[in-house]
Chain A
Amino acid sequence: TFAGEPKWTKKVLTYRILNYTPDLHPADVNAAIKKAFNVWSSVTPLKFVKEENDLADIMISFAVRGHNDFIPFDGPGGAVAHAYAPGTGFGGDAHFDEDETWTISTEGTNLFYVALHEFGHSLGLFHSKDPEALMYPIYRKFDPSVFPLHQDDINGIQHLYGHTPITYSDQRESSEVKEPDEPKEPALADTCSPDLTFDAVTTFRGEIMFFKDKYFWRKHPSLREVNVVLISSFWPRLPPGVDAAYEVPEKDETVLFKGNEFWVVRGDTILPGYPQKIYALGFPKDVTKIDAAFYNRNKGKIYFFIVDKFWSYNKRSQSMDRKPRQIREAFPGINGKIDAVFQHNDFFYFFHGRKQFEFDPGKKRVTRLLKTNFWFPC
């Protein structure tokens, strides 16, 4: 952070693009800038609103050489952009050197990537000494398929603004989704809606099952079509609104949770003796529901997520952790309560509201920020 740790006190910030580079279509500039702000929103409580005419907190402009501030640009190469720490006047503003060739690809100077760095300054981050971090001062080729923030960047910005909270609307939304006790019939959600959220997700005999209210979608990862199914048509005795689910492929069993009970199914058959109480798995009485769960085949462990903590159950030793751990300690970059999680190939996919985080357990970090409908042919 900067000396004195200047930061914005409000959580909704405005930005205005004062002029556009002739190197790109204005719509591409708008999209690159918006995408950069969305990345910072994904790890903080901050929201960004585009201002069209008035003054804004973050004024964005393209200029060459001297441009009415203290640091003239230096022609092609060298300094490609700069931005100011939060504050009034110049505070927060970001300036881009028009002598660069701005692109939306990995050739030339990628506007999204540079803007993401500069907005780090606009929000209060100083340069990082970590060559892997986004806030390292030198621009390098970047891999657009990898989540661009390094843990160092996330630690810095969350030191200033905290984690991604669950806003009231998210909570209301997830409580509606998790406890559909109201008599109203929830309509079938649109899988391509940007507001799509899930109750639970699990693999299932080579497919992926996405649970929502009284339905689930079945999708094979390598096929386009998606089937929507009423939960009751598969498992009539199961209540709607599954909380969590995971599959143990080698036993051809899938475990479904609702409230403090769970069922084990094989295909469309509920195995005898279910439901059972989750306390049979080793949870203490104060655990009343599971938010999400998945089975990590490589480790032979089942992970249960409850609010911001998780428990793991070792299948080999048949033992549950004695006490829960913080999610973000074992899964850096995954903060707060999650709605659903599953493993696909060597990655874990965490769903939180409208966001989906791809997590690489090998690198122990988030590698991609995806939309929840990433798996659907939208």
Chain B
Amino acid sequence: FPADTRQKKEGIQLIQTYLENYYNFKKDGESDLIWKNNSPITKKIKEMQDFLGLEVTGKLDSDTLDLIQQPRCGFPDIAGFS
């Protein structure tokens, strides 16, 4: 892939894993990764950005990409964990 497409792909992988680990995101099929404004993953990104004090864009912007690569506590950020 051209570099930026590959980076984008890596970013999508990162954010998906992060949301699965800490925001109870469950990807059921490829369609879940479509980035429409009200798609499941966009909603989850907004939820995560709100919790971590980021600008709530629903997009994988650089601040968001930077923060999800910081060391963190392994415990989820939202309930739904028992």
Partners in one complex: yes
Residues of A within 8 A of B (CB): 2-3, 71, 73-74, 77-83, 95, 97, 100, 109, 114, 117-118, 121, 126-127, 129-131, 136-140
Asked if A109 contacts B75 (CB within 8 A), the reply is no
Given contacts A77-B69, A79-B21, is CB(A137)–CB(B53) below 8 Å? no
> With a CB–CB cut-off of 8 A, which chain A residues contact B67?
138
Q: Which residues of A contact B52 (CB under 8 A)?
A: 129, 131, 136-138
Report the nearest B residue to A130, measured CB to CB: B53
Cβ of A83: which chain B residues have Cβ within 8 Å of it?
A: 75
Among B50, B69, B72, point to the contact of A137 (Cβ < 8 A): B72
- Report A-chain residues with C-beta under 8 Å of the C-beta of B3: none
B70 contacts A81, C-beta separation under 8 Å = no
- A79, B77: Cα distance in complex, Å: 12
Q: Which of B53, B69, B72 has the most CB of A within 10 A?
A: B72
Do B71 and A100 touch (CB < 8 A)? yes
Chain B's closest residue to A121 (CB) is B75
Within 8 Å by CB of A80, from B50, B74, B82, lies: B74
Q: Tell me whether A78 and B75 are in contact (CB under 8 A).
A: no
CB of A81, distance to nearest CB on chain B (Å) = 6
Q: Is the interface of B mostly helix, strand, loop or mixed?
A: loop
Mind listing 17 A-B residue pairs with CB under 8 Å? A3-B82, A71-B75, A77-B71, A81-B73, A82-B73, A83-B75, A95-B74, A118-B73, A121-B75, A126-B79, A127-B73, A127-B77, A129-B50, A131-B53, A137-B72, A138-B67, A139-B71
B75 engages A82 (CB within 8 Å): yes
Across the two chains, which residue of chain B brings its CB closest to A72?
Answer: B74
Distance between A89 CB and nearest chain B CB, rounded to angstroms: 13
- Tell me, rounded to whole Å, the shortest Cβ–Cβ distance linking B57 to chain A: 17
**With the chains together, A129 CA to B78 CA distance in Å?**
11
Count of chain B residues near A, Cβ 8 A: 17
Contact A78–B72 (Cβ < 8 Å): yes
4 closest residue pairs by CB, A with B:
A79-B74, A82-B74, A82-B75, A139-B71
Tell me if B35 is interfacial: C-beta within 8 Å of chain A.
no
Contacts A80-B73, A83-B75, A129-B53 supplied; 13 other A-B pairs, CB < 8 Å: A3-B82, A74-B74, A77-B71, A78-B74, A79-B72, A80-B71, A80-B72, A97-B74, A117-B73, A118-B73, A121-B73, A129-B51, A137-B75
- A139 and B79 in contact (CB under 8 A), knowing A79-B21, A129-B51, A131-B53? no
CB-based contact B21/A137 at 8 Å: no
A71 to B50, CA, bound (A): 24
Given A129-B51, A137-B22, A138-B52, A78 contacting B77 (CB threshold 8 A) = no
- Report the bound CA distance from A118 to B71 in whole Å: 14
Residues B30-82 near A (CB distance < 8 A)? 50-53, 67, 69-75, 77, 79, 82
Given contacts A79-B21, A129-B51, contact A137 B71 (CB under 8 A): no
In the docked arrangement, what's the CA distance between A71 and B53, Å? Answer: 25
Docked Cα-Cα span, A3 to B51, in Å, equals 17
Q: Is the CB of A137 within 8 A of B79?
A: no
Interface centre among A3, A79, A121 (most CB of B within 10 A): A79
Give Cα A97 to B67, complex, Å: 20
What distance in Å separates the Cβ of A294 from its nearest Cβ neighbour in chain B? 37
The distance in angstroms between the C-alpha atoms of A2 and B74, with both chains bound, is 15
Q: Name A3's contact: one of B70, B73, B79 (CB within 8 Å).
A: B79
- Chain A residues whose CB sits within 8 angstroms of the CB of B21 once the complex forms: 71, 79
Q: Tell me which residues across on chain A come within 8 A of B75, comparing CB atoms.
A: 71, 82-83, 121, 127, 137
Given A129-B53, A131-B53, are A139 and B73 also a contact pair (CB < 8 Å)?
A: yes
Report the minimal beta-carbon distance from B40 to chain A, rounded to whole angstroms: 22
**Distance of A243 from chain B, by nearest CB (Å):** 45
**Across-interface contacts of B69 in A (CB, < 8 A):** 77
Contact present for A140 and B70 (CB under 8 Å)? yes
Instruction: Please report the C-alpha to C-alpha distance between residue A71 and residue B22 in the assembled complex, in whole angstroms.
Output: 11
